[in-house]
Amino acid sequence: MEYDLGPGAARLRERLRALVAEHVPVDYLGAFTPDPADLDVAQRFCRTLADEGLLCMAWPEEFGGSGASLWEQTVVREEMWAAHEPRGAQYMGVNWVGPTIMRHGTAAQQAQHLPPIARGEVIWCQGFSEPGSGSDLASLRTAARPERDGDGAGGRAWRVHGQKIWTSYATMAQWCFLLARTTTGGRKQAGLTIFLVPMDAPGIEVRPIDCMMGPHHLNEVFFDGVRVTEADVLGTVDDGWSVVQEVLAFERVGIARYARCERLLQAAPEVLGGAWADLPPELHGRWARLLVHARRARLLAYRVVSRQGTGQVSPVDSAAYRIAVTKLDQDSAEVLMEIIAQAALTGADGEYYRREVEDHARYSVSATVASGSIEMQRILLSRALLAASSAPTSTSRGTA
């Protein structure tokens, strides 16, 4: 399986790496640390990327992009994740919030939301998971109840009541991509609606959840009578589930975790120097196998990207990629932790590499459940394979 990223891919990588080297501190480990300066680095760097026309390269020009190819945007995605994502939470707006608003938003919503995303000025969070409704998202109970008097201009209005959980970036986000139930009865996937809700709206409370990954990653968000109107609805009332399926497919492939895994694996021999040869042969073998697995995950991601270009993103392909990259995350973390435990790392480079590996290991713990649990991805993939194997095949007389 071969994919051509285009003649400018290598030059684009060099340009991105030069910008990272110029604007991102050498010991940077991401925006979501206890130090507010790290978030400031990410916000400034996003504006730099936007000024260089690199933040939303693949967006159409009318929405603030450069009309670049999806492959060029993939190069940006890979380089950013390999460098501990100096875009911070902006990847959500770039990879799936913005494109979803392009496809399903009104002209007013596009004018309101897309320019700030393209300039790197706004952070979004995702109001999906709930206590008891994580992997089974369609069973959510956050409800948008209609107001009798509507919005006062002949349109509908609702009051949102409920709770979301595991909401990354809720403490810093200005907007929430919220999924709520507007109709009960019938299939649980029916009657769901997406609302675009400002996080400073009256009735919203955010409670951070302490975790090993540090601040900003996990939060509870409570909605106590938050008022929304038809102007806040993305797509069609009661038909939010069809949009969610598209969103999840974009989200799962939008994080190029394989790029970071591959970079950390490739760096090990150089960082360890002479100590690399002293590692057990069995550990060398596992390290080599994981480099192969990293490239396999990359190819699975590229298959989804190629189908994005035709507008036919398959949830099955996204599930296959998600399974592969989750296993890669966790298996590479295990091997890398063994490597740094068995070799003495010295100097600033060695100390930073140790911190990188430990950070990667912490994140790998959450990979099993983030963006849909790996168990649910396996169920989705299994169902698709069973359906394909049991589908009737047509035969023509006179053919073998």
User: Two tokens at 289?
Assistant: 């196998």
Sequence-ordered list of residues with C-beta below 8 angstroms from that of 101, at least 6 positions apart, any chain: 109, 110, 113, 114, 196, 234
User: Two tokens at 313?
Assistant: 């993103």
137 with 181: CB under 8 angstroms?
Answer: no
Look at residues 243, 240, 391, 374 and name the one whose alpha carbon lies nearest to residue 318.
374
Q: Three-state SS for 204?
A: strand
Dist. CA 348–CA 346, nearest whole Å: 7
Tokens 């035969």 belong to which residue?
Answer: 395
How many other β-carbons are positioned within 10 Å of the β-carbon of residue 386?
10
User: Two tokens at 34?
Assistant: 């206890």
From the candidates 79, 85, 130, 251, give the one annotated as an active-site residue. Answer: 251
Q: What angle do CA 173, 217, 244 make, to 5 degrees?
A: 70
Q: Is 251 considered catalytic here?
A: yes
Positions annotated as catalytic residues are 251
